[in-house]
Structure 1
Amino acid sequence: MPQEIASFVVLLNVLGIAGIVVWHLQGRSRPYARLIVQIGFFTAMTIVLLLGGIVPFRFDPPHLESMSALFVSAKIFWWVHLSWAVIGFLRIYIVLDGRPREARLIQDLLIAVVYLGVALSVMAFVFGVPIGTLLATSGVIAVILGLALQNTLGDVFSGIALTLGRPYVIGDWILLSDGTEGRIVASNWRSTHLLTAAHNIVVLPNSVLAKLGLTNISRPDENHQITLSIRIVPTRMPHVIRGVMQTVLDSCNSIIKDPPPAVSLVGIDASAVDVELYFQVTSPLKRGVARSEVIDLVYRHCKSSGLQLAMPLSKVITATEVMAQNASASSTGPVQSLIEAIPVFSVLTEEEVTALAASATRRIFSPGDEIAKEGDSLASLMIIRAGIVSMRRDGEEAARLAPGDFFGEGGFLAGIGESHALQAVTRVTVYEIGKEAFAPLLGGRPELAEDLAANLAYREALSGNMGNHAMQHDRRRSYLLQAIRSVFRNHAHG
């Protein structure tokens, strides 16, 4: 090595070591500062190389053995700083490109390519290793490793395809063609992790996931449609049945109203009208709750409208059985059947239910009629026979009541006003039972007070502006229970 370039070699080594030290001192929390350091030191080292006439892309054996180690290390430092500068620019490009999901994978791939290229360049231009022979030998080794790691490589390349294709992102809820579904919680080179509704983690190899049909439920949003098939005995005209089923969906609190739920008549024969209900929920996790509420409302609205659920096609039923079922259903009046279907009144005897039904009076409210104002203390218990009642607070609808629901018990039992204004959405039929008919039943049944207090507290907790629902529900139930029990004590002493 000529003596005149020895100083440049020493300066290159100093700059290389200083660049590494300063780069590490910046820390991972300052990526832009690190990039500036990388570019600055690489530029300075390149200028020194040019001034010293050192060519990094050519193998030059040193002339002085005493300087050989410094010459080799100088070239290595330059190649290392070149790789870091290129990687820094790549990271900035990936961030500015605005595709965070692909960023990690692309970054890893490009960094691997850069380091591999730098390693081969150092071997060829610094140590004079014949790269052609090395590549030929490594090709054979690569074939052997490829056969041994066939499944692993399949997962890796499938992961690359899934990442670049972007069928999902972390946090999406997906449904696979084999029935597996869940939310994406992690994705790496080899596998994708799903958190299922059962709160289990399913690990799917990327090669398996790439072969399955995939439905992304989270796109364009997580609104999820549910279809429920119902069979109704054709005792009424089909358009009447369709109207009742639409009322079912309109009275449901667990489904979304935009887009509006729909009802379709899909078939008819001598035994049934086939109806399908279409409705959406805000998340796949709410499917079970919404389906259960709709099924409950189908039963209640069918009972209130005089409709009957049809037998399944596999069930053969004779005319005698149909007559027996109809006779059994009509053996009690509509009021008594309604009272018997309400769990709160299950503690009453058959004679007490009959007497309670005989005292009930029928009232009808037109759509839009105000049944009670917020804070009103009603003097009678009102059981909804048919229709939908809207519970409103501060002008906003909080929930809806359907056939089988009741209200007003707080007023005539404990003098408690309604927590919501009540308004008829459709034509509403209610059966009204006065305090004088209900009072004789209160004496020896404290469990009735528990159920009435729970019903009152639940109705109030339906409001969406109550904050901590569980705490409010328990506090309200305790207060109502004490108030109702005081009425029981006063009644017993009187």
Structure 2
Amino acid sequence: MRSVLETDWFYWALSVAIGLPVGLVLLTELHNTLARRGSYLARPVGLLRNYILPLGALLVLLVKGGDISGETTGVRIVATAFGFVVMILLLSGLNATLFQGAPEGSWRKRIPSIFLDVARFALIAIGVGMIFAYVWGAHVGGLFTALGISSIVLGLALQNSVGQIISGLFLLFEQPFRLGDWLDTPSARGRVVEVNWRATHIDTGSGMQIMPNSVLAGASFTNLSRPEASYSLSIVCTFGPADPPDQVCALLTGVAARLPQIRPEATVKAVAVGGNDYRTTIPVRSPADDGAAKATFLRWVWYASRRAELHLDGIDDDFGTAERLTKACRRMATTLRLSHTDQQELLTHAALTRYGADEAVQTAGEVPTRMSYLLDGRVQVTAAGPDGEVVPVRTLHPGDFLGQSALTREATRTSVYALEETTMLQVDRDFLEELVTRNPLLLHEMSRLLDERRTDARRAMSATSTQAPVSAPSSNR
């Protein structure tokens, strides 16, 4: 017994017999704890428990416990496997601590994966070379020299292609834009849909622009999507020299504020820039809304400027001719059963107006100053539900009236949008009050129509629980 205790292999074997189970238990508990927390270190700890600790124990037993020479093939195979797993552990731990656990927005998080792959390949090559040199006694210096010379030759032969790849890698590392961002470059303007090592793909709306990264890296471009919620559309309109500038700016601001593409809680601004030109700055949600917002704005400004008797592009509006006005008043007089005298007075207190498709004719909460009679087109009456959804109330057609609450001077509970180009005959409130005073039957009819609209609105509101909500009219109809 004393001779066994005096041998070296006994203590090595005893250390492995006690240390291996204890180490496995401790590493298992540590691995389970890290796995529950979702830590990136769980995988390196798993490698240490499953491979490195058992292989290290086996190597100790062979060399120290079994007194087997390290020059034997079996020991070299075990040592090679042990060294390879240790190398994988170091790479995995380095990746988990430096890159996978890096804070969002840091340079470690932005570094392209290709850089990590190249660095990992180089470290693996160096590690494998050291293992073969130390364990097997191989001479790997010549191999690394040959690889270095080959790399130089290939780099000179492929310098143009490699230059584009390096430019792409630096763009990926710096990340001046992301997929989905809108870029304005000297040769293209559109949305980034793909970025690879060689080129950036930009969807311009009329085709795909393939731009080499070397060109993009050497040029100046604008990222329209950064910072977020900062993109604005600028539109210049020309009005007549006699149009009051403040009135023009108020009209442009009001039209732009009603655009469906406008960014929530953003401020629209219209200023005179000289030469009868006015610039309207419209903050939109995304550059993708640029085209739709501009088309809708220009279309609505055309109608709004004529209703306000302003001269867009310096042109006078000749729509409300005496002939058209007389014909429209005759239609309304027939509907209301007005006398010839009332019809003649109506001509001096009425005006023809037009609204474009999807344009707001009436907004909930405002007090109408005129009553409107539909001549052509259709409008949609809507109400706001309890959760803010838009509920359709009814559709008005030619021959219907709108704005009867002008007589009662009450705020409207509904909003009205034109479904198509709509022509209306609008009558001043003062004349209406005088007209219904002379004609009690007309007052009764107006009251009946007003009560009918209120009933329709209440019925639509009560049906919101069984009807799917609809959105407000958009400019893409």
Instruction: Using the TM superposition, give the Cα deviation of residue 49 of structure 1 relative to its aligned residue in structure 2, in angstroms.
Output: 4.4
Q: What is the CA deviation profile of residues 236-295 of structure 1, one whole-angstrom value per residue up to 9, with x for unaligned ones?
A: 332222222223223433323522110011113xxxx11101002112221111111110
Structure 1 match to 2:384: 393
What's the secondary structure of 2:261's corresponding residue?
A: coil
Alignment equivalent of 1:296, drawn from 295, 299, 309 = 299
Aligned partner of 2:451 in structure 1 is none
Q: CA deviation at 1:125?
A: 2.2
Selected match of 1:232 from 212, 235, 239: 239
Does the CA contact (< 8 Å) of 1:176 and 1:214 recur in 2? yes
- Corresponding position of 1:45: 55
2:84 maps to which of 69, 80, 85: 80
Q: Is the 1:255–1:280 contact (alpha carbons within 8 Å) kept by the matching residues of 2?
A: yes
Q: 1:174 to 1:233 in 2, by over 3 A?
A: same
2:426 is aligned to 431
Match of residue 195, structure 2, among 187, 197, 201: 187
Distance between the aligned counterparts of 1:330 and 1:172, measured in 2? 45
CA deviations over 1:449-468 (Å, ceiling 9, x no partner)? xxxxxxxxxxx9xxx99857
Matched, 1:132 2:141: yes
For 2:80, the aligned partner's letter is: I
Given that 1:178 and 1:212 are in contact with CA atoms closer than 8 Å, whether structure 2 keeps it comes out as: no
Paired residue for 2:130?
A: 121
Per the normalisation by structure 2, the TM-score is 0.59
- Corresponding residue for residue 95 of structure 1: 100
Letter in 2 for 1:42: I
SS in 1 for 2:235: strand
- Aligned partner of 2:426: which letter? Y
How many positions carry a matched residue from both structures?
354
The residue number in structure 1 matching 2:313 is 310
Change in 2 beyond 3 A, CA 1:253/1:304 = same
Amino acid at match of 1:177: P
Secondary structure of the corresponding residue to residue 182 of structure 1:
strand
2:240 is matched by which residue type in structure 1?
V
Residues 95 and 103 of structure 1 are in contact (CA less than 8 Å); yes or no, is this contact kept in structure 2?
no
Partner of 1:403: none
Local SS of the residue matching 2:197: coil
- CA 38–331 in structure 1, closer or farther in 2 if over 3 Å, else same: closer
**For 2:277 and 2:311, how far apart are their aligned partners in 1?**
12
Q: 2:121 aligns with which of 112, 118, 121?
A: 112
**C-alpha RMSD over aligned residues:** 4.9
Specify the code of the residue in structure 1 equivalent to 2:318.
A
Change (3 A) 1:44 1:196: farther
- Mark the CA change 1:430 to 1:101 in structure 2 (over 3 Å): closer, same or farther: farther
| Residues 175 and 380 of structure 1: CA distance in aligned 2, closer, same or farther (over 3 Å) | closer
8 Å CA contact retained: 1:252, 1:297: no
CA contact (8 A) 1:190 1:206 kept: yes
For normalisation by structure 1, the TM-score amounts to 0.58
Matched, 1:329 2:318: yes
The equivalent residue for 1:144 is 153
Identity of aligned residues (%): 19
Give the 5 Å matches for 1:280-295. Answer: 280-295=283-298
Can you give the 5+ residue segments of structure 2 that lack an aligned partner in the other structure? 1-8, 21-37, 333-342, 352-361, 402-411, 417-423, 433-459
In structure 1, give the amino acid aligned to 2:373.
L
Report the 3-state secondary structure (helix = DSSP H, G, I; strand = E; otherwise coil) of the residue aligned with 1:329: coil
1:381 aligned to which of 366, 373, 380: 373
DSSP-derived class of the 2:101 partner = helix
- Per-residue deviation, 1:412: 4.1
Q: Hey, what's the Cα distance between the residues in 1 that align with 2:371 and 2:367?
A: 16
Q: Which residue of 406, 409, 421 corresponds with 2:414? A: 421
State the one-letter code of the partner of 2:227.
P
Query: Cα deviation per residue 1:57-92 (whole Å; 9 max; x = unaligned)?
Result: xxxx965xxx43x24422321222022212321332
Q: Which runs of structure 2 are paired with 1:437-452 in the superposition (5 Å)? A: none
Deviations 1:134-192 (A, max 9, x none): 333322211111012223322332233122212123343333332232134x4343344
For 2:427 and 2:375, locate their aligned partners in 1 and report how far apart those are by CA, in whole Å. Answer: 6
